[in-house]
Structure 1
Amino acid sequence: MGIREIEIFRAVMTSGSMSKAAVLLGVSQPAVSQAIRKLETAAAVSLFARTRGRLEPTSAASALMSDVDRFFAGYEYIEHRIRSLRSYGLGRLTVAINPAFGLGFISRAIAAFEADKRGVQVSLQVMNTHEVHETVSAGKVEFGLMAAGLSMAGLEHSPFAHLRAVVVMRDGHPLARRRTVTPKDLERQPFIALNSADPTRISLENQFGESGVFLKPLVETPNSHTVCELALAGVGVGVSHPLVAADYMDRGLTIRPLSVDVVLNSVIAFRAGAPLSEHAKGVIRQMRVQLAQESSALAAKMAA
């Protein structure tokens, strides 16, 4: 059994017949039939049933197909990577990043990096923390930035940010007059929450529970950007990542600190045994500079 037989099996499964698979692959139908028989013999299972002239995949074929799809996804990525290396050499960087840092923050960091290192092609993938973790673990990107808390088995990692969540509301909201917002202050407010499985939401509910406060969200959303947009629209108040919220201050959003600590930790991760390229190191250095600058600027605005 070789890759060619697996490729023919996949073509039969996706096209629905041996004749269509033969056309798709540019081979004869007997060659397709022979490859399927060879695969069935090697696997010692029947992969297709012939019923009334139609080819029906067996349960074994369906189970095998899920593994075949994963195999070809990896194979196609390797082909894509080879084409990229041919086109760009080593002047290409792939990064996965979670939404909190994946819009304004990373855009500014990459702009500063490109100003110094023009010509480096960056492939930026914005996805949730679990997807970042999976993508980094699979070796599909050079490094990822994600929320801390997941297993780092098989990965090298280093701390990136240690920040405190903030309360966000539209300018002119009654709570904007307070220097600090307490759990009790939020108890009777229309509340915009992150999704229930979000680590920030879990930490928030634990902290508020200790104060005897149990929030009933009016709206739930998966990321801080939407929390800020909803608060800006006057839907209610919410708790957000501070650097996300900072991008909305000039549009009419007020930020206030929470009286309890809801900490947002994030890490940079890459595969063990896969040293970072100089371009990756350069982007990470710029990200750390950007983090220090934006954290200081936000602290100054909130203290004003």
Structure 2
Amino acid sequence: MRLRHIEIFHAIYTTGSITNAAKMLHVSQPSVSKVLSHAELQLGFNLFERVKGRLIPTDEAEMLFDEVDKIYQQMRAIKNTAENIKKSEFGAISLGVTPALGFDAIPGVIADYHRDYPNVTFDIQTLHNDAVLQALLEHKCDLAVLFSPNSMPGISTKTLSQSELVIVYPKEKFPHCPEKLTLSQVCEDEFIDISDSGPLGDMLWARIMEENIAFNASIKVQTYFIAARLVARGLGICVVDRFTAQGNLADNVAIASFDPPLTFSVSAVHLENRSLSKVIDEFLPYLSKGISST
């Protein structure tokens, strides 16, 4: 039996007549009769008998109906799922994010989105800039959110917001808690160095060279949030992105912008030759709004 045969057979069996089946399926009675005749011809036996103006299922139809009903329910599930996907009510988002956005920004974005689209599932992984291209090519993620990504062939970039590097320092160092500082004002303090920190590290290094600053750095870490936590332990000052600084605040530390500021872009990237799903298109405005407000 073809899928159309199953649909017609199920409708006649459950409604008891060709007229009712036609109404339920929004088709003409002759078309229902034609499909039924074709189904019986292919099967080699009758499915219904006419008794006093009603169609009564044959014994063969009774034996067949349970299996047909299973397929019919699956067809309905497929149709409903397709409708829900069209409405962005179902779907999946595979998202790669730079670790700093995992403290507050991305959880806040997903919470806002999830309230409106509770049936969309997420697969979230942290990525550094140097690993994002491979992750996209291997389809480990559909979309990645990074700080100041380099231009890459085959990758489309959408700027979501601007942010900045900040100085995280102990409040006892500057009790008046200035909102802006220069490197020369903190160069005598122990500097917690962050190695291999990508484009943001390059930006900081360029400012250090420009101002001819020499730091005393006896502690080197791989991760921004560890540097911020070390500052809270009184071990020096560090330079991190504002997302990390705000996500790791302590009562005894403060944050200052650079003077002049060191800004960078926060961007979403994806493969140019792979169109984004409807759910990701719906997610992007939430992403842009959430990151901009953090």
TM norm structure 1: 0.62
| Per-residue deviation, residues 219-241 of structure 1 (Å, max 9, x unmatched) | 22233212211111111111111
Could you say which residue in structure 1 is the equivalent of 2:219?
Answer: 219
How much has 1:147 moved relative to structure 2?
A: 2.6
Whole-angstrom distance in 1 between the partners of 2:151 and 2:123: 25
3-state DSSP of counterpart to 1:282: helix
Whole-angstrom distance in 1 between the partners of 2:230 and 2:279: 37
Structure 1 pair 197/225, CA: closer, same or farther in 2 (3 Å)? closer
Could you say which residue in structure 2 is the equivalent of 1:95?
Answer: 95
The equivalences for 1:193-208 within 5 A come to 193-196=193-196, 198-208=198-208
Could you say which residue in structure 2 is the equivalent of 1:170?
Answer: 170
Work out whether residues 169 and 176 of structure 1, in 8 Å CA contact, stay in contact via their aligned partners in 2. no
Could you say which residue in structure 1 is the equivalent of 2:290?
Answer: 290
Whole-angstrom distance in 2 between the partners of 1:178 and 1:124: 36
The equivalences for 1:64-83 within 5 A come to none
Whole-angstrom distance in 1 between the partners of 2:175 and 2:238: 12
Alpha-carbon RMSD: 2.4
Displacement over 4 Å in runs of 4+: none
Structure 1 pair 123/186, CA: closer, same or farther in 2 (3 Å)? same
Letter in 1 for 2:133: H
3-state DSSP of counterpart to 1:270: strand
Work out whether residues 95 and 125 of structure 2, in 8 Å CA contact, stay in contact via their aligned partners in 1. yes
Unaligned residue ranges in structure 2 (runs of 5+): 1-80
3-state DSSP of counterpart to 2:111: helix
The equivalences for 1:1-304 within 5 A come to 91-174=91-174, 177-196=177-196, 198-249=198-249, 251-294=251-294
Q: Larger C-alpha radius of gyration, 1 or 2? A: 2
Letter in 1 for 2:274: A
Work out whether residues 163 and 264 of structure 2, in 8 Å CA contact, stay in contact via their aligned partners in 1. yes
Work out whether residues 161 and 292 of structure 2, in 8 Å CA contact, stay in contact via their aligned partners in 1. no
Letter in 2 for 1:123: D
| Per-residue deviation, residues 63-105 of structure 1 (Å, max 9, x unmatched) | xxxxxxxxxxxxxxxxxxxxxx9xx986211111111213321
3-state DSSP of counterpart to 2:157: strand
Unaligned residue ranges in structure 1 (runs of 5+): 1-84, 295-304
* Number of residues of Structure 1 aligned to a counterpart in Structure 2: 208
Work out whether residues 155 and 269 of structure 2, in 8 Å CA contact, stay in contact via their aligned partners in 1. yes
Return 195-204 or 238-247, whichever deviates more.
195-204
How much has 1:107 moved relative to structure 2?
A: 0.9
Letter in 2 for 1:96: G
Whole-angstrom distance in 2 between the partners of 1:201 and 1:176: 28
How much has 1:144 moved relative to structure 2?
A: 0.7
* Bigger RCO (CA 8 Å, 6+ sep): 2
How much has 1:164 moved relative to structure 2?
A: 1.7
